[in-house]
Structure formats: C-alpha cells, structure tokens
Amino acid sequence: MAVIGERWPDQAEWAGKIYSSGWRESEGGTRQVIEPATGDVLAEIGIASPADVARAGARAAGAAGDWAAAAPSDRIEVLLRASGVLRERGDTFRDWIVRESAGVPVKGDYEIIAALAQLTHAVGLASLPRGEVLAPQAPGGTSVAWRVPLGVVGVINPWNAPLLFAMRALAPALALGNTVLLKPDPLTPVSGGVLIARLFEDAGLPEGVLHVLPGGAETGQAVAADPHVAMVAFTGSTGAGRAVARVAGEGLKRVSLELGGKNSLVVLEDADVAAAALAGAVSTFGYQGQACVAAGRHLVHTDLVEAYTDALVGHARALRVGDPREDGVSIGPVISERQATRIEQIVDESVAAGARVLTGGRRDGLFYPPTVLDHVDRAMPVFTEEIFGPVAPVIPFHSEAEAAEIANDTAYGLTAAVHSGSVPRATAVAERLRTGMVHINDVSAKDAANAPFGGMGSSGNASRIGGTASLEQFTQWRWMTAPGPA
C-alpha cells in the first residue's frame, strides 16, 4: 500500500473506519482507495451503511442544540483554528488531492486556497445580522423575525474537487450553527472526508457536530432520507441530483442542487484571438475537463474560427499527459475506466456522424489527451452531452443572435464566458444567455467564496451557495410577536 506524505493523520487511526463522534468501525464494510495514475492502493476506508447513517443522524441531532446555542465567537474560533490547521497541513492535503483525484499539484494548491477562502468567508457569516424588527400589529407590541439554524445538514460531495466542494457547504453550515453529515465520494474519501474530519478535530469542533460517512449511492440516499436531516446540499451529476431530490422531497427537506453543465465559451469577431484561445484551453482542458464549469462548446464567429481553432490546437498539443506527480505534466488521467469509456464513446459516435478530430481523440488507458473537434453539428453527442473530459468541440456562428441561440440550445444553464474587444458588447450577449453565471473575457470555470454559485435549468434548482446566499440556504426564518402593556 502506498504511503502519502507525513503521518498526519495516522492511517492506523482511521483505516477502514468512518467518523461519527470519533473513529468507528462501519457496518457497510470497507473499500480500497485507488490512485488513477498508477493503480496503487493508497488506503482503505470504511463505507457507511444506512444503519451507520441513522446512528450518525441521531448523534448530530443530539449535538445540534448546543452548537446552535454557542456564541458566534465560539464558532468563529473553531473556523479560524481550522484555517490554521489547513495551512499547516497543506502539503498533506495537496498530496492526497493529487493522488486520489489525479489532478496536477496546482489543482491541489487551488483547492486549498479556495477552501481557505470558504473558511474565511464563513467567519463573516457567523457574525452577520440575522434578523429585523417589524412594525408591531398593535400599539406597544413587538414583532421580530430572525434566522435560526436548520439543524442537521447533509452534504453529499463529488470526487472532482473533494476538498473545495465539501468546504463550500460545510464551512457556512457550521458557521451558522448547523451540525453536518458529510458524505464524500468513495473515489476521493480521504481528501474529501477523512482529512476534513481530522482538520476539525484538531480545530476543537465539539464531538457530534461533524460526521464523515463515505459511500456510494446507497449511503447518499440514506443521508437524504434520514429523518434528522433538515436540508441536503448536493453537488454532482444531474441524474444523481434528481434521485437525491426525490428522496429528500418525501421528507419535505430543503435541497440545494449544484449539477452539471454544457457550458459555452463565445468568441465574437472583435475578440483577442490569442487571449480567447488560452481561456478556452484552460476552460476545457484544465483538470482533464472534469468540472461542471468546464467549457463544453467553443462558439466562434466565422471570421475568427480558423485562427481560434489553430491556436486552440496549439495549446492542446503543448500539454503533456502523464502521471500528475511528474514535473511538466499538465494533464493527468481521468478518474476511472467508466469515465474514460464514456468520453471515448461520445467522441467516437460524433466522429462517426461527421465530426473531425484535429488533435487527440485516442485514449491510452485512463489517459485521454486534449482533443479538439470541428465539423460539429447539433445532433452529435459532443454538442448535446456533458462530456466531463478534455474535449473541445468548435462550432462557428455568424451573428450574436445565432451565438446566443446555439449557447441556449441545452437543458443545462450553469455558466458561460463571452470574449469581445468591447465589454459592453460582450455584456449584452452575456445577458441573453440562460445561465446562472457568466464571465466576460475570462474562463468559464470560476469560483469565489463571496459569490452566489449555481445554475439554471438542469444545472440546479435555483439554489445558490456562496456569499449571502449561504445565509439563505443554511438558516430558516422564525417570527415572534408579543403584545404591548395591558
């Protein structure tokens, strides 16, 4: 079994276990954690069974009252100490992110920086005003409304940014007085779960406030169904999100869904071609395209399409594919054989239907090279489906209206980018796009702790996490009145 970094946290403490008021044996058995780049066994983790989830839910509910009643300054202290531990143990987090999720080290660094930003922003949330004094219904009376914690929050986390996406929901939920059941994906249960549990242990989080329950769909369904869970924050595929929402809906729970995307990068005829092509390469090829915010369509004005495509192909060919731990490697393997097969099928079916491969297009095991396609039409899978791989379909357009129409030809509505020499012009096009986020002269893949992150259509359920939107997601209103003097 491979050994990663220093011995914090000691695998003898947590191997084969789940975290629920301490490290415990699980009823759901164990699972090996495999490094995609090498096939090495990195660790063994416990899988939480529905019975494990039920017990954790009861423990979290038991701890919820005291944590909600804690002074905001007490919760802030825990978050600040957690931030300090993350900074101190950054090398360990980076190593696990690289080896579990097959991202290059800069991807690990980005997750750590972004997770620290989430903790910092959550500190501010903990002390925000949470209520208002209303006009009384009778002279001399009082009428007040304020936000209170939901209670137990379930956080169901994906594999592609395990630390960041966990912290994006976990930090504000804890800051606002909730207890949490965190279900990391079984492909990245250490960087997305074990290390986070150990981080908050070291930060002094009271026992019972956080529970880490790795597992697959059965575990996630148990979290969504648990009667103690008041709200579920889910990040993942649209299909899995629908399944979680159905289960949570039976319990009348609040659900926050951050789902897939088929995102367009639009290049108008007055754009800086070199800058746009670089942004396009980063948007599609970064972390092997395995991000909901990756650019899945490159819509380029016909006047620029040849120059843009040539530049994009140049970027693709310059990216070295290999083990992400090796110097100079920019593209690691995709996360699993299932994902590699899916990317291959989408590209092969599109090529059979007439698309042309300009570079890439043939995988070597889990390694799929940066790929650029043209001659793409709207019936092809590379146009219609979220690829979740390093594949860039290039589609020409003739007018701004046509560009907006093509970009909106999808059930998804997560993010987009528009490139133009005129920011007002790009903004006018951006306003025609049916997306929850849009970026001018930039990449499609952006995130910020103080921004309301989320999408429209099949990319979500109109929920947002980030900024003051987190206050709305992880609290609920309580109204109280009192009569005046008799």
Could you say which of 35, 258, 386, 400 is catalytic? 258
C-alpha span between 293 and 234 (Å, rounded): 16
Q: Where are the extended beta strands (E) located within 401-453?
A: 412-413, 416-419, 439-440
37 with 323: CB under 8 angstroms?
yes
Both tokens assigned to 407: 């970009």
CA atoms of 264 and 435, how far apart (whole Å) = 10
Distances (CA, A) of 257 to 175, 177, 181, 254, 463: 20, 21, 16, 10, 7
Residues 6 or more apart whose Cβ sits within 8 Å of residue 302? 396, 397, 398
Confirm whether 88 is a catalytic residue.
no
Active site residue 344: no
Task: Give the DSSP per-residue string, 262-328.
Answer: -EEEEE-TTS-HHHHHHHHHHHHHGGGG-STTSEEEEEEETTTHHHHHHHHHHHHHHSPBS-TTSTT
Select which of 35, 111, 201, 292 is catalytic.
292
Q: Which two tokens stand for residue 44?
A: 């063994």
Catalytic residues: 258, 292
